[in-house]
Structure 1
Amino acid sequence: MPTILIVDDETIFRRGLRKMIESASDGWQIAGEAKDGYEALELVEQLKPDVVLTDIRMPRMDGIQLQQIVKERFPHMLVVVLSGYDEFSYLQQSLRHGARDYLMKPVEREELLETLSKLRGELAKSAAAPELLAAEPADARQIRQHVSEHLVSGLLRGDVHENELALLGRIGLTFGATCFACMVIKLDKDALDRERYGKADPSLFQLYIQQVVQELLNQRSNGFSFVLSDTEVVALVNLDCGAAAANPLMELAESVRRRTISLSNLTVTIGLGSAVEGIKAIPRSFREAKIALLHRLIVGGDRVISYAQTKESSQALASNLREWSWSSLETTVLEGKAEQAGQLAADMIAELCALARSPETIHQQICKLLLHYYEEAEKLVLTKAWLGDRTIQAVLLDVCAITSRAELIECCRSYLGHLADCIAGSRRQPESDPIEKAIRYVNLHYREQLTLTEVAEQVFLNPAYFSTLFKQRTGKSLVEYWTDLRVNEAKKRLAASSEKVTVIAESTGFGNVRHFNRVFKSATGATPNDYREQARSGAGSL
């Protein structure tokens, strides 16, 4: 019986495809499901399915990247592509990477079954001619790209260590110099023709930009680039340390910007972090590059913005705001004096509105102010507590849409007062206690895919020692504690809302509803639906 792997980031589509495939009269076995390309690659290695049915637009690794790697590493494996974007360039690219068919969402049952029938015929022919399945040597470039993306993204987060760099060396990516710098390249969507952007999948633009960046890195420096998200490309540059390091970095970034324009008529904005020494400092340069990129909202796009420039801008802002008690505001916020910080912020914005020559100046200054405190919140690991699920980009865009002086004043009073309150709350906890600090961190991030190593690094302890200490202090393992948080949150939402179980499972960090059902029943003795019914009827004490 032929096997098929379903890859789509939307649970409802995976379920629908599974149901249609299982209803096929000629019989197909679902080997597994994956929500993105990274998960799919792991399952492809483990399960060796005959067919991969993949969506194009997915987080982390999209369908085109997945096709490239599957084609080179498993040339006998068949791939069918699904997409909601009817665009000729997609069809070309998918077929070029070996797709056997191309289906548009929403998929029609008859069309899918017809495609499966064709694939079954191809598999039968291959089985009759076994020599066609002889594995071709995997393309080293594709393997290098996949493994390097995984390890370099780990370097940016700070969870890859020096001994793991040997793996990069074995696949041809070596860092001979001692210094590193990060660039984050973002497509200027607002400068792009809307029709052109709307017709194509956004990931295509990012893949194109990544290719431009990598070509220049190969020509002028040493480094590695990859698609960071649906809107950004990141580059890690390896270079010699020295006072002049900033000039080659700026020249490289400007070359990326100019070449992208000349070859594609696309414009990009580039955030450039500082050159830092050693791999342990890479996350700092990455954070700086992201913060520099945020200043696009202030200075505009189609340019390179270095972190050093933003610091100079912030220092100039501090100088201009001294008559508005900038230093007093800084002190009250960082000391956690919420009421005083809110009032000082309100006074400063009121005076800014009275003195500024244009609304643009007011918005620019407020954006600089909020970006400054965003950086402070990042350092204190309080961004989540301060902004919740909102991004700083969304906050700044909202601020720039406000035209009322009173609303601007109240907005800044609220944000800076709340940040001071968050800082006060964090300092009320015993900072010297690593387990208390770890508990606060897990409480803030329990919806994310945490690891023991990640939490241990937050409190600067060896993972094995931290695990033992955490169990001694709390009576639970980290996984048990983390699971309890998720289950308790799910219980509250089941009892108080009509949200679907799948939505609650995903939003509380479980992702896979089957895993959620199993864990929830083990913890409570009831399925999620039974728990909801009993909680609402008042029956039992769950």
Structure 2
Amino acid sequence: MPNILIVDDESIYRRGLRKLIGELDDEWQVVGEAKDGYDAFSQLEKLKPDAMLTDIRMPRMDGIQLQQLARKRFPEIECVVISGYDDFSYVQQSMRQGARDYMMKPIEKEELAKVLAMMKERLKERSGAQLKRSREANEITQHAAEHVLKELMRGTASGNDIRLLETMNIAFSHPAFVCMVVKLDKSSVGSERYQQADPFLFQLYIKQVAQEVVGRKGMGYAVVMSETEVAALLNVPDADGAMQEALELADSVRRGISSLSRITVSIGVGRPKKGYPGIAQSYGEAEVALLYRLIQGGDRVLPYPETGHRSGSGADAADQAWQQLESAVSEGRRVLIADLAKAYVEQLCRHADTPETVYQRICKLLIHYYEWASQAGVTAEWLGAKDMKSVLQHVCSLSSREELEETLGKLLLSLTDCLTERSVKGSADPIRRAERYMEQRYAEALSLKDVAEHVYLNAAYFSALFKQKTGKSFVERLTEIRIAEAKRLLLGTDQKLAVISEATGFSSIRHFNRVFKAAAGMSPTEFREKRRNG
């Protein structure tokens, strides 16, 4: 009978876990409880449990420190960590200390049952089942890898996250990436069937098919992004020639799903981009492309390049109204917006063959401005609690010209106000403002995300724009600023290296010495002595 120690600083939570473990698996015996790391380590010595379930944040000694000690003294103990904070850095530290899995508070009963079962299986077969242990370890690795892949696509991954992928033998051998986003066509399921089923099961099925298709080519990975969305990240050798292959793969996924089941999906495909920052850009384009499902229908692949506005050579009577409306929005001429929106709808209604044509053109117009809002970082301010899908659905439900004119006018007037406000906040060159901010805050633990938010830009877009404008990466420029200030302090003051290191934003003297020598060709001490004596 396996036994387990529960470690958490909240007594009510310890009691709840004890009860839940007993209900889930009566083979498990809770041999003790501890309120912090010190208490837990003492009980480990005395009770020698097979497993330990520990919180991360606790007074006196936290879960990370406890794992460090336990790993040295009891290397065979099974450890699972619990965090009430959605901070992946704690999970990374725990995994480095030997944690086999982790759970986020509040713990789901099914998740705990799975973790207990996995631990029990490992304990039973530790002596001989090396293959099974490897498979379980791979599951944990996959869980962590999927988290990092999601962060890459959302544009929030750090260098540490990418290095973590490399430690799990997930390496991208090619320089370019393409993202595709797969969504279930709910109409193919039926509302009753969809409501009765667990939506997440649909996503798992879609992910399985997508992974099989892209994995067969050795091109990438599929991950479940949410209850309604699966994304696939493709790693391709050439950004210029990869789009056609990506579209063919996407269509293979679409056909594979429909042939194996009675459901259909729509797939948006972003354009190929180079480098890690391009992943988030391609993912965003795939999301925009997928919005066209409302216009073109489901069960199809929707490539980003084909979704933009195509202006006819004077043949479409609404083109001029579109262009006038676009100029008014971009220039902030709000007094014209309502009249121009009305004129655009009038032109559409006058010349369209069917009502569907009117809805399609208005949806295209709104998606066009949704891209503007995304690039300017004002989507949340513009749409509030709504998303673009619900906005388009509402537009397509309107049955009169007057309602369309009023709704479109209000939406574009609101967007104009958001863009004007952001323009006032973000006046002047954002890269120059970013450099000034870095020059003022170099002593702090600045991140690319911090600086991007200061200039109101998306982190991935800011990174690419910074490199384009300055010829240097964000880290290279920040290091340059810090080294320049360090040189000034070395020559102009008698401060100790530890003081200068801290004052210029380096995490330690060792880090300072290494970076300084790489930049200046000599150590800080050698630099000071040579310049002063030379």
Q: Does 1:148 align with 2:145?
A: yes
Residues 479-490 of structure 1 mapped to structure 2, 5 A cutoff: none
> Are the counterparts in 1 of residues 177 and 239 from structure 2 also a CA contact under 8 Å?
no
Q: Which residue of 2 aligns with 1:328?
A: 324
Q: Which residue of 2 aligns with 1:378?
A: 374
Shift of 1:324: 4.1
Determine what percentage of the aligned residue pairs are the same residue: 35
Amino acid at match of 1:194: S
Q: Which residue of 1 aligns with 2:409?
A: 413
Residues 67-466 of structure 1 mapped to structure 2, 5 A cutoff: 73=100, 82=109, 137-139=133-135, 140-160=137-157, 165-241=162-238, 243-311=240-308, 313-315=309-311, 320=316, 322-429=318-425, 431-432=427-428, 453-458=448-453, 459=455
- Structure 1 residues 209, 175: closer, same or farther in 2, change over 3 A? same
> Are the counterparts in 2 of residues 3 and 50 from structure 1 also a CA contact under 8 Å?
no
Q: Which string of whole-angstrom CA distances, capped at 9 and with x for unpartnered residues, describes residues 272-319 of structure 1?
A: 0001122222211111000000111110111000001112x5445997
> Are the counterparts in 1 of residues 7 and 55 from structure 2 also a CA contact under 8 Å?
no
Shift of 1:157: 2.8
Distance in 1 (alpha carbons) for counterparts of 2:35 and 2:429: 47
Distance in 2 (alpha carbons) for counterparts of 1:265 and 1:94: 33
Shift of 1:358: 2.1
Shift of 1:322: 4.9
> Are the counterparts in 1 of residues 338 and 413 from structure 2 also a CA contact under 8 Å?
yes
* Local SS of the residue matching 1:274: coil
> Are the counterparts in 2 of residues 257 and 302 from structure 1 also a CA contact under 8 Å?
yes
Q: Which string of whole-angstrom CA distances, capped at 9 and with x for unpartnered residues, describes residues 41-97 of structure 1?
A: 97898589999999xxxx999xxxxxxxxxx9469xxxx9647xxxxxxxxx999x6
Shift of 1:165: 3.8
Distance in 2 (alpha carbons) for counterparts of 1:346 and 1:187: 35
Distance in 1 (alpha carbons) for counterparts of 2:313 and 2:390: 22
Shift of 1:208: 1.2
- Structure 1 residues 207, 45: closer, same or farther in 2, change over 3 A? farther
Q: Which string of whole-angstrom CA distances, capped at 9 and with x for unpartnered residues, describes residues 94-149 of structure 1?
A: 99x67769xxxxxxxxxxxxxxxxxxxx99xx9xx987777973435313312221
Distance in 2 (alpha carbons) for counterparts of 1:388 and 1:253: 32
> Are the counterparts in 1 of residues 56 and 81 from structure 2 also a CA contact under 8 Å?
no
Amino acid at match of 2:204: L
Amino acid at match of 1:457: A
Shift of 1:159: 3.5
Q: Which string of whole-angstrom CA distances, capped at 9 and with x for unpartnered residues, describes residues 175-211 of structure 1?
A: 1111110000001112113343222211111111111
Bigger radius of gyration: 2
The alignment's C-alpha RMSD in Å is 4.7
> Are the counterparts in 1 of residues 318 and 347 from structure 2 also a CA contact under 8 Å?
no
* Local SS of the residue matching 1:180: strand
* Local SS of the residue matching 1:428: helix
Which stretch shows the higher mean deviation, 350-359 or 291-300? Answer: 350-359
Distance in 2 (alpha carbons) for counterparts of 1:19 and 1:395: 47
- Structure 1 residues 131, 189: closer, same or farther in 2, change over 3 A? closer
> Are the counterparts in 1 of residues 346 and 401 from structure 2 also a CA contact under 8 Å?
yes
Distance in 2 (alpha carbons) for counterparts of 1:299 and 1:41: 49
* Local SS of the residue matching 2:416: helix
Shift of 1:154: 2.3
> Are the counterparts in 2 of residues 363 and 399 from structure 1 also a CA contact under 8 Å?
yes
> Are the counterparts in 1 of residues 239 and 274 from structure 2 also a CA contact under 8 Å?
no
- Structure 1 residues 167, 390: closer, same or farther in 2, change over 3 A? same
* Local SS of the residue matching 1:346: helix
Distance in 2 (alpha carbons) for counterparts of 1:329 and 1:292: 23
- Structure 1 residues 407, 203: closer, same or farther in 2, change over 3 A? same
Amino acid at match of 1:456: V
Distance in 2 (alpha carbons) for counterparts of 1:255 and 1:224: 15
Distance in 1 (alpha carbons) for counterparts of 2:395 and 2:478: 45
Distance in 2 (alpha carbons) for counterparts of 1:369 and 1:212: 34
* Local SS of the residue matching 1:238: strand
* Local SS of the residue matching 1:325: helix
* Local SS of the residue matching 2:386: coil
Amino acid at match of 1:304: V
Distance in 1 (alpha carbons) for counterparts of 2:348 and 2:295: 16
* Local SS of the residue matching 2:182: strand
TM-score by length of 1: 0.60
- Structure 1 residues 225, 288: closer, same or farther in 2, change over 3 A? same
Long gaps (5+) in structure 1: 7-13, 33-39, 62-71, 84-92, 102-121, 439-450, 470-542
> Are the counterparts in 2 of residues 202 and 230 from structure 1 also a CA contact under 8 Å?
yes
TM-score by length of 2: 0.61
Amino acid at match of 1:210: K
Shift of 1:269: 0.4
Shift of 1:414: 0.5
> Are the counterparts in 2 of residues 337 and 424 from structure 1 also a CA contact under 8 Å?
no
Amino acid at match of 2:245: P
- Structure 1 residues 329, 144: closer, same or farther in 2, change over 3 A? same
Shift of 1:363: 1.2
Which stretch shows the higher mean deviation, 154-163 or 398-407? Answer: 154-163
- Structure 1 residues 267, 323: closer, same or farther in 2, change over 3 A? closer
Q: Which residue of 2 aligns with 1:511?
A: none
* Local SS of the residue matching 1:375: helix
Q: Which residue of 2 aligns with 1:109?
A: none
> Are the counterparts in 1 of residues 250 and 301 from structure 2 also a CA contact under 8 Å?
yes
Shift of 1:150: 2.2
